[in-house]
Amino acid sequence: MIQLKDVTFGYTKIAPVFKDLNLELAGGHIYGLLGKNGVGKTTLMKIIAGLRFANSGTAEIFGEPSYKRSPAMLQDLYFVGEEMYAPALTIRQYVDTFAPFYPNFSREQMDAYLEQFELTGCTQRISAMSHGQKKKVIISFALATNVKVLLMDEPTNGLDIPSKSMFRKVMAMAADQERLFILSTHQVRDLHSLIDSIILLDGGEILLAEPNEVITDKLLFKVVDSTEGMTNLLYAEDTLRGIYTVSENVNHEECKLDIELLFNAAISNKKKIKELFSNY
Amino acid sequence: MDFGTDKAIYLQITDYICEQILNGRWKAGERVVSVRELATALEVNPNTVMRSYNELADRNIIVNKRGIGFFVSSDAPELIRTEQRAAFIHDELPRLFKKMRLLNISLEEITNHYQSTENQ
């Protein structure tokens, strides 16, 4: 559904953010886009959405260059940025104004999502709402558009604790085999049960982009008492509960993906990670 | 649900479902809640729940009736008990024995404790 080929992009000519980036993403997945601050997560989403243009290489969405921003493409694409456009309209007025751009928009779903977020019957103008409330309105709207590609930049930022749980519920309700979600996040603990594939960005390149089960098939995440005698160890972290380790999953043991550990292991061991997931 | 342990989330969900079947909340022969419903309730990716359902179907604990959905198979409780008995003997007993040896606890001592709780 999304394909980037040899994408190079920089805000200045001297320091490119990305160099020869290649990425292919399919529907039916919730991708977690991870990377350190300033690594270009938002920029990557903007390139996919056609809001930034690659210096070289191509970014395609539904098989057409995203920079063209054709109406057909825009009907099936929504980008929830960290800063949201919040006009002085009530939720109802907002829906009346912007829903017509999305032929598959469902008012029923919008109401169901608003109900989950406890915003039913809210007549306040969006501009006067708190940051968290604005976010809930925009997320509800974005999901109700039923677009095929939905990009969300730090969706749980600004949400209070119960709202984070509601966000996960609403996402689980909305996910289906036709849709592709990309969530950029630092709040890995908020979203680890939702994300089924990981895109890891570092130093202008993609370290890995794989479904969780491919990652846990190649990497073993395990808490041990001692790392003595452990072969193929990639990363270890001492904690009160024991030593958290990431090693090569030579025997294909079942394990649970720990996204934070994966992140640390990948950043400190780039070469090995790229070797293991070398199809990129 | 808190997915805090080291076990893969889809396996934690299969454990959860087995528990529901053993304690009778999900009854043999009854229809299993839809993937989306359970995903929403547990706040997980629907693909993960689908993986759990496929895993349980492979173990014959639930059956897929084409076009209608998944159902708890009639011998599900017995199947789960057999599985868990094997897991207890294979995984938990060795751990218990190891600890008993470490702390010098004899089998007689354990037997006495076992019998005293049985009488309660």
The CA distance from B3 to the nearest CA of chain A, in Å, is: 8
Residue A192 near chain B (CB below 8 Å):
yes
Task: Please identify, among A203, A236, A265, the residue that sits at the C-terminal boundary of a domain.
Answer: A203
Same-domain pairing of A180 and A220: no
Contact residues on chain A for B44, CB-CB shorter than 8 A: 168, 172, 193-194
Q: What is the dihedral of CA A250, A255, A259, A261, to 10 degrees?
A: -60
Nearest-CB residue to B40 (from A29, A173, A256): A173
- Check CB contact under 8 Å for B48 and A193: yes
Interface of B with A (CB under 8 A): 3, 5-9, 11, 36, 39-48, 51
Residue A183 near chain B (CB below 8 Å):
no
CA angle A150–A213–B15, rounded 5-degree value: 105
The CA distance from A14 to the nearest CA of chain B, in Å, is: 41
Which of B2, B5, B6 to probe the A interface (max A CBs under 10 A)? B6
The residue length of chain B stands at 120
Total domains in chain A come to 2
The CA distance from A194 to the nearest CA of chain B, in Å, is: 4
- Check CB contact under 8 Å for A196 and B45: yes
- Check CB contact under 8 Å for A256 and B42: no
- What integer pLDDT is reported at residue B120 of this predicted model? 65
- Check CB contact under 8 Å for A176 and B6: no
Same-domain pairing of A116 and A223: no
What's the CA gap between B11 and B48, in Å, rounded? 9
Same-domain pairing of A58 and A173: yes
What's the CA gap between A44 and A21, in Å, rounded? 10
Cβ partners under 8 Å of residue A83, min gap 6: none
Residue A173 near chain B (CB below 8 Å):
yes
CA distances from A79 to A50, A101, B71 (A): 10, 14, 39
**Structural domain that includes position A269:** 212-276
- What integer pLDDT is reported at residue A279 of this predicted model? 59
Same-domain pairing of A141 and A259: no
Same-domain pairing of A12 and A91: yes
Task: Please identify, among A175, A203, A231, the residue that sits at the C-terminal boundary of a domain.
Answer: A203
- Check CB contact under 8 Å for B6 and A221: yes
Contact residues on chain B for A254, CB-CB shorter than 8 A: 7-8, 11
Same-domain pairing of A140 and A237: no
Same-domain pairing of A199 and A217: no
Nearest-CB residue to A172 (from B5, B7, B40): B40
What's the CA gap between A145 and A95, in Å, rounded? 10
Task: Please identify, among A157, A181, A203, the residue that sits at the C-terminal boundary of a domain.
Answer: A203
Contact residues on chain A for B40, CB-CB shorter than 8 A: 169, 172-173
Residue B3 has pLDDT above 70, yes or no: no
Nearest-CB residue to B45 (from A30, A222, A256): A30
Contact residues on chain B for A113, CB-CB shorter than 8 A: none
This complex has an ipTM of: 0.85
For chain A, 280 residues long, the average pLDDT of each consecutive 10-residue run is 94 87 94 93 95 94 94 96 91 96 96 93 92 94 97 93 94 93 91 94 92 93 88 90 91 91 92 80
Residue A165 near chain B (CB below 8 Å):
yes
- Check CB contact under 8 Å for A172 and B43: yes
CATH value at residue A6: 3.40.50.300
Residue A125 near chain B (CB below 8 Å):
no
Element (H, E) at B24: none
Contact residues on chain B for A221, CB-CB shorter than 8 A: 6
Same-domain pairing of A88 and A132: yes
How do residues B63-78 score in pLDDT, each as one tens digit? 999 888 899 999 999 9
- Check CB contact under 8 Å for B45 and A256: no
Element (H, E) at B87: helix B76-87
Tokens of B91: 């995984």
Which of B2, B42, B44 to probe the A interface (max A CBs under 10 A)? B44
Tokens of B3: 């997915």
- Chains A, B: CB contacts under 8 A, how many? 57
Provide CATH code, domain B9-74.
1.10.10.10
Which pTM value belongs to this model?
0.89
- What integer pLDDT is reported at residue A280 of this predicted model? 45
Helices (H), chain A: 41-48, 71-74, 91-98, 107-116, 131-144, 161-174, 188-191, 212-218, 259-268, 270-276
- What integer pLDDT is reported at residue B1 of this predicted model? 60
- How buried is A55 (Cβ within 10 angstroms: 0-12 exposed, 13-18 middle, 19+ buried)? middle
Question: What residue spans define the domains of chain B?
Answer: 9-74, 77-119
